[in-house]
Amino acid sequence: MTAKVVNNMGIISISEQVLTTIASNAAMESYGIVGLTTKNATDGLFLLLGKDNMSKGVTVYTDNNRVTIDLTVILEYGVRISVVAENIIDNVKFAIEDKTGLKVDKINVLVQDFRVQEA
């Protein structure tokens, strides 16, 4: 489904893939996040996604130009989950609203794992 922005010149349609890319890039800029993850269907393990397929860790729903986003993440070991999750939410919300003009209804952050970052 696409989101539509109506202005005096016409209609702008924004695909969910574009919203997914914006959200995944904004989330990765947050302090304390190691990466986005997705569940491997065959063995039930959560895999850290590479830069090419980060969008698989993001699910976007649009309804009446209101956006809901689900992010599945792996955080750095030792960070406060609530602080990092709020930072991710703020970054993603700002990026979506700033770049598209759409209103973000809700952002859900699902923390799947912790990883120790290597120096």
Residue 67 in domain: yes
Separation of alpha carbons 22 and 32, rounded Å = 19
| 114: pLDDT strictly greater than 80 | yes
Task: Give me the DSSP letters along 67-109.
Answer: EEEEEEEEEETTS-HHHHHHHHHHHHHHHHHHHH-PEEEEEEE
In a domain? residue 10:
no
Domain count along the chain = 1
CB atoms within 10 A of CB 101: 13
CATH number at residue 53: 3.30.70.1350
* Residue 54 vs residue 109, higher pLDDT: 109
In a domain, residue 11? The reply is: no
pLDDT digits over 31-49, tens only? Answer: 999 888 876 545 555 555 5
* Domain housing 80: 16-115
On the question of pLDDT at 66 being above 70, the answer is yes
Total-model pTM: 0.83
Residue 9 within a domain: no
